[in-house]
Amino acid sequence: MFEAFRGTTFPSILLSGAGSSSKLQSQIESLRVGPGPVVFFLDPFVANANILASIWVAGPFTFVVDVGQEPSTGYVDKLVSEIQDLCQRSLPSLMVAIGGGITMDLAKAVSVCLTNSQNSSKMQGWDKPTKSGIIKIAVPTISGTGAEASRTAVLTNTQSGLKLGINSDFTKFDCVILDADLISTVPTNLFFFNAMDAYLHAVEVLEGHYRNSFSDFFAKSARQILEDIFDSQDPRSVSNHEHLMMASYLAGLALTSSFVGLVHPLSAAIGVEYKIPHSLANLLALRGLKTHYPNTHDRIFGWADKLDVTVPSLGEVWNAETDASKLYSEMVKHELPVRNALGQDWQTDFTFEKFQLLLKEM
């Protein structure tokens, strides 16, 4: 195990429990800074279902963001430009993100680009922003990505095609509201796919080389909660919804002081190459990585069978020929997670020939 001397960041305010989103308005009023407008980022489901519509009002400062594809640097820069024009080059007083992981990541990225006056591609990497982002509140309506807790805004670089994060303490949310009522209508397949993202976060941290007491504590807690949920008779119970939101949050915290493993780099490559949603791409990657994570593979696919959730093969969602060399190249560009999983000599152990065999399992 390598020492991972990394800190863990927390929001200033964490509210949880069914109905806690009723506190959103009071948090907006207490946290906003300056005379600027409050900017809302909503995913389309939130907007169409009028979730928390008494608080956000349709208008120029409410953005229904595109969640049909993974967020890109080009899209972030477009949103930044639109907000700057609306604010007449001043800054919003607050940002609120209501939705899933894409909505959260877009809000985090836009917030630091606004205050650092930089294109998002310049912010990608480790600790590039030098100023805090706009004060912001997260209200997740689906759980698993951990975006509400992590210091990372994951974006696909429009020019290079590489999926990279803006990794900074300045991206974190200042207030997080975990209201289990908001995930009660999520379809079971999406509920499951996203929950497994959190489970894989925890497993990859715990089976990696870069570990510390913080990452282990949060990851172990998240893993146990998720196993209890999906081993139970009714994973969709109200209490399990509340537990899932906390597990997602804890697994996200684990990532802030450690790294993921092999699943997420391969998932990122699959997502960029084939435009497959992240949470589904994770499970396609896991199928190929069965020999690396045998117990996790069997648990997750066993839970899928229990819930009657179908996880397709890569061939079922992508009919064209797979470019193995391109996928391998895109995966190993994420060197820190690969090294976390396999150690310093990963290039000797994880050859292209071995990758080709792995790909056949997907």
Residue 6: the pLDDT is 58
Write the pLDDT tens digit of every residue in 174-228: 999 999 999 999 999 999 999 999 999 999 999 999 988 889 999 999 999 999 9
Side chain identity, residue 137: I
Domain 2-183 belongs in CATH node 3.40.50.450:
no
Mean of pLDDT values over 56-70:
91
Fold match flag (2-183 vs 188-360): no
Average pLDDT of the segment spanning 99-119: 96
Q: Which is more confidently placed, 68 or 265?
A: 265
Position 3 pLDDT exceeds 60: no
7: confidence class by pLDDT, cuts 50, 70, 90: low
CA angle (173 as vertex; 167, 175 as ends), nearest 5: 165
d(CA 7, CA 299): 31
Interval 327-351 mean pLDDT: 92
> In this structure, which amino acid lies at residue 237?
S
Minimal CA–CA distance to 198: which of 183, 181, 213?
183
Where residue 82 falls among pLDDT bands split at 50, 70, 90? very high
Q: How far apart are CA 75 and CA 88, in angstroms?
A: 20
What is the per-residue pLDDT for 161? 82
- Between 4 and 290, residue with greater pLDDT: 290
Residue 264 pLDDT > 60, yes or no?
yes
Task: Determine the average pLDDT of the residues in 313-334.
Answer: 85
CA distance 84 to 73: 16
Asked if the model's pLDDT at residue 58 lies above 90, the reply is no
Q: Is the pLDDT of residue 4 over 70?
A: no
Can you give the residue ranges of every domain in the chain? 2-183, 188-360
Q: How confident is the model at residue 316 (pLDDT cuts 50, 70, 90)?
A: confident
**pLDDT beyond 80 at 5:** no
Asked if the model's pLDDT at residue 8 lies above 80, the reply is no
Nearest to 155, CA basis, from 173, 142, 168: 168
CATH code 3.40.50.300 for 188-360: no
Q: Two tokens at 217?
A: 């504590």
User: Which one, of 194, 85, 218, 213, lies nearest residue 140 by Cα?
Assistant: 194
Q: What is the pLDDT of residue 296?
A: 98
Q: What is the mean pLDDT of the chain?
A: 93
Over range 295-318, report the average pLDDT. Answer: 93
pLDDT at 96: 98
Q: What is the Cα–Cα distance from 164 to 156, expressed in whole angstroms? A: 6
- The pLDDT score that the predictor gives to residue 320 is 67
Percent of the chain with pLDDT over 90: 79
